[in-house]
Structure formats: C-alpha cells, structure tokens
Amino acid sequence: MASIDARSEDELLWLLRYKTRRKIILAIGDAGKINATALRDSLKISTGSLYYNLRQLRRFVTQDNDRNYILTEEGLKVYKALKEKGTISSSDLVSEKPQGIFMKILQGIFFPLWLYSPLYERIGVTILLPTLSFILSSTLLIYSRRRTLLLHFYETAPNPLGIIGSYLLNVFILYSLITILSILFSGTLFRRSEGESLADRVRLVALASVQDELKFLLSLFVALLPLMFYPAILSVDKLFHLSVIPPKGTPLYYQVRDALLIIAQGISLPFLTALTAYGRRLSGTVAALVILILFFISYIFYQMLTIGAIT
C-alpha cells in the first residue's frame, strides 16, 4: 500500500481536488516521461489549462534535461497512492463534471489562462508582447496626460519621462503587492511541515527563481493593458474632438470619468486574476480575492490623493 508523508498529504488534498490534475499525475506516471504536446493530446485539454495545472503541481511534477515531464519522488508516492487507492480516497476529492462549450467559452473570457502559457513558455512572446504593451500604454498615458496610481489614474503635467517613470514604478509596486498578498492568502505560511523552512513554503507560491519572477513582472504589463481603456478613450476623444467627455468641472464630467474608469477596471479584472492564478500557483478563487483586495487598496490610496488635492 503506497503511503504519503504528512507534508505532502495536505498539499495533495488541496491540489488534487480537480480531476485534470489527477489525470496529469496518472498520465505522467504511466508514461514514465512525456513531453507537453503528447500530454496535452492525451488529456484533450488546452495548452493554457495544461501549463496552469502543471505549475500547480510543481511539487509533484518536474522536467528532465530534455524538457520531458516526470514525477518527483513525492509525485511517485502520489501516483502509487492513486493507483492503489491507498491513503487517497475518492471521497476526499471533488469530482468534476465535463464542461460544456458555453462554459469553456465563458472560462476563456473571464479566466484567460490561455494568454499566459505562451508568455511563460515562449521566449519570443515573453519579450515581444510585454514590450508592445508597454509602448502602447506609455503612449496613451503621455497623450492623455495621466499617471497611474495602482489601478487608478490621475491627471498630471505633460512630462513624458515623468509619466513613463511613474508607470514603471507603479508596475513594480503592483508586482510587489500581488506577491505579498498571494503569499499571505495562499495559506502556505500556515501549513507547517517538518524539515520545511519558511523560505521553502514561500517558494511554493512566489520567488522560486529569478526567471519566473521576471516572467511574472513582464506579464503584468500585458495584464494591465485592458486598464488602458480609460486613457485610450480620453486620447481618442482628444484627438478627434468627439466631445465624449463633458467639460471638466461639470457634474457630468465626473460621472462619465468614473464610469469609464470602472469599465476599464472591470475589463482588467479577469486578466489580473488569471495572471495571479497562473504566476502565483493559486486557485482562481484565491487569485480573485487577491486582486479584489488590490482594487480596494488602490481605491483607498486614490481617495487619499483626491482628498489631499481638494484640501
């Protein structure tokens, strides 16, 4: 009868709630080693879903020198337990119903993991897409004369270098806040195991490698691009004199401004949530909680800035 040590048992019950992850471990265990394409085809899942679940299973799955996926020592214990129905009971795991086409479409829209697997796995995409996102975002901010304050904007003087510098600093602050909140809400700090240090537990969520952190930081430029809907509307209105934005200082101006900002934030929410889930190896629910708290922090700072400007 296969046995699983105490350290991996809690992790197992947390990770293997979903049938896809159990199937991944079983498929790799049956094959001994398998490449990503063959694994994806055998499971009949999307590339984004595959890489997301593989990242979640980081403790149990690794890659050899040929980039084939193999099970770690703990992964082999889990595989044997699943095969022999030993310490893992099916009643401990949440069964999954097959997703319909409509639900798959909704998940692709509101939880776009498909965007981040190429950002993490293909070096060309990792460089090109964030660069284009940065250039477009910077252009919109400069033309609309806006600076970012976490997930809000405020008007500023026409200083291109200052606006770009502020934007870069803001992205780094968001990266830091998402990382801290992800570590706090992941629960890893409270799942103590014998022989496992605090740093080991933190690395299950973030800071596992410089390469991974750089990819997360670069992906953040892409995830924030939908937020630029707000300066984009301001820029188009200014460029073509559309008068979509009412005269500044009128009550309607603030209503339209706030409505556009809310729309931009709403559009960006799924992208930030998916990146947090993918890059920080969190469940969708925990990732959404992290981003909602981030929105709340942003709102508090924005209100403080607004009150300070009035007084």
278-310 confidence digits (pLDDT tens) = 888 787 888 999 999 999 999 999 999 888 765
* Its pTM surpasses 0.75: no
| Same domain assignment for residues 124 and 162 | yes
Q: Where in the sequence is the domain holding 152, given as residue range(s)?
A: 108-310
**How many secondary structure helices (H) and strands (E) does the chain include?**
14, 4
Q: Is the predicted pLDDT of residue 2 greater than 50, yes or no?
A: no
Same domain, 85 and 112: no
Q: Rounded mean pLDDT of 178-188?
A: 88
Helices (H), 187-283: 198-203, 210-223, 229-240, 251-279
**How many C-beta atoms surround the C-beta of residue 120 within 10 A?**
20
Structure tokens at 186: 């992941």
pLDDT for residue 298: 95
- Amino acid identity of 310? I
DSSP at 34 = B
**Same-domain pairing of 122 and 73:** no
Q: Which residue has the tokens 């699983």?
A: 4
Lowest mean per-residue pLDDT among 28-32, 52-56, 179-183, 283-287: 52-56
What pLDDT is recorded for position 15?
61
Instruction: pLDDT band for 228, please (50, 70, 90 cuts).
Output: very high
Among residues 63, 98, 133, the one where a domain terminates is: 98
What's the whole-number average pLDDT of the chain? 82
Label residue 236 by pLDDT band (50, 70, 90).
Answer: very high
CATH number, position 19 = 1.10.10.10
Instruction: Tell me how far apart the alpha carbons of residues 105 and 111 are, in angstroms, rounded to a whole number.
Output: 10
Read off the pLDDT of each residue in 9-24 and give the average, rounded to a whole number. Answer: 65
If asked whether residues 276 and 229 sit together in one domain, one would say yes
d(CA 303, CA 222): 26
- Domain assignment present for residue 103? The answer is no
- Is there a contact between 216 and 175 (Cβ–Cβ < 8 Å)? yes
pLDDT at 153: 94
Among the residue ranges 93-107, 158-172, 244-258, the one predicted with the least confidence is 93-107
* 75, two tokens: 């992964």
User: What pLDDT is recorded for position 7?
Assistant: 43
- Give the count of beta carbons closer than 10 Å to the beta carbon of residue 217: 17
Q: Are residues 93 and 130 in the same domain?
A: no
Q: What is the pLDDT of residues 190-221, one digit of tens each?
A: 766 655 677 777 777 788 778 889 999 999 99
Reading the block at residue 310, the tokens are 């009035």
Please state the rounded mean pLDDT for residues 123-142: 94
